[in-house]
Amino acid sequence: MAPVLRAHPQVTAVLVLLLSVLGLAAGGKLLVVPVDGSHWLSMREVLDGLRQKGHEIVVVAPEISWYIKPAKSFVMKMYPVPFTQEELDRTFWRTSQDVFEEGSFLARFLKTYEGVKKTSAMFLSTCTHLLYNKELVRYLEESKFDAVFTDPILPCGQIVAQHLSVPSVLFLQQIPCGLDFEATQCPNPPSYVPRVFTDLTDHMNFLQRVKNLIFDIPNYFLCDFVFQPYAKLASEFLQRDVTVLDLLRQASIWLIKLDFVLHYPRPLMPNMVMVSGVNCAHKKLTQENNQFPTEDCSLDLLQQQESVATFAS
């Protein structure tokens, strides 16, 4: 090998150049558009690992939030929003309390409807103030990001990804109304895939399948007022007619925080990857409790980091 290199100095120069570039290619520039609450807490685990691998991470977040705070592992760009911390806390607290209240299905549905309506209005306002913050958007355009990492429970990150024309990686558990199934053209038969709050399994008799189908109907009313305003906002901002499904269909990869060990199996598409276990990435069983062989949850975290790094490099 050495005589060949000495005889061909051009080859040597090219190899040296390639090796020097590999160090630069190892890390990418990732834009993160998170969703506040527990969604952010699990996403933080992935970002910390990506930072350790040399990726440059920029998080855009509102000045008023529950859990999204500055950290050493990423750069945070904040923007103003038209509500106070007290108003945010009150809205979240009231919505969380409604989930645990008892009553008839109709009463619980109406309370959930009102709670989701108020919370959605606040999130929509947050997204609007992000997109129309000219100084921040100009910074994002000039930063030349390699990918957008976002939670699609609210499609604001997808709007940003479309505007910047960069790939997007979605990090989620599931989206209401089965939009994740529709966006990926993934089979979602009510005779097999149990709906939320039905307490059904993936083996149903005829009446249970009918119940499973009926429980899907209210979702369309909930999703109409939750997601339709984002379609309108996206159309105005991107200056072309788009729907929420159009935005979600552009995602390159879906990282789904589920596991068939704990959840009933469901069909998946090739770009949908199961990555459960992120919230227990740093937890290990003691010798006394570890009676059965288990895999370290950090393996799931590593899989998530590698999936995101594919588009950030």
- Please give the CATH architecture assigned to the domain spanning 27-312: 3-Layer(aba) Sandwich (3.40)
Of residues 223 and 34, more confidence is placed in 34
pLDDT tens by residue, 109-151: 677 777 777 788 889 999 999 999 999 999 999 999 999 999 9
pLDDT score recorded for residue 288: 56
- Distance spanning both ends of the chain, measured CA to CA: 31
pLDDT by residue (tens digit) across 177-203?
A: 888 999 999 998 888 888 877 788 888
Average pLDDT score over residue span 56-80: 94
Q: How far apart are CA 277 and CA 281, in angstroms?
A: 6
The answer to whether residue 79 scores a pLDDT higher than 80 is: yes
Q: What is the DSSP letter of 167?
A: -
Q: Are 179 and 253 in contact, with CB atoms under 8 Å apart?
A: no
Beta-strand ranges (E) seen in 128-172 are: 147-150, 168-172
Identify the pLDDT of residue 309.
Answer: 53
Greater model confidence, 164 or 301? 164
Question: What would the pLDDT profile of 209-235 be if each residue is shown by its tens digit?
Answer: 998 888 877 777 767 777 899 999 999
Token duo for residue 20: 């020097």
Task: Write down the H helix ranges in 185-313.
Answer: 206-214, 217-238, 244-249, 298-312
Q: Please give the residue that has the higher pLDDT: either 234 or 258.
A: 234
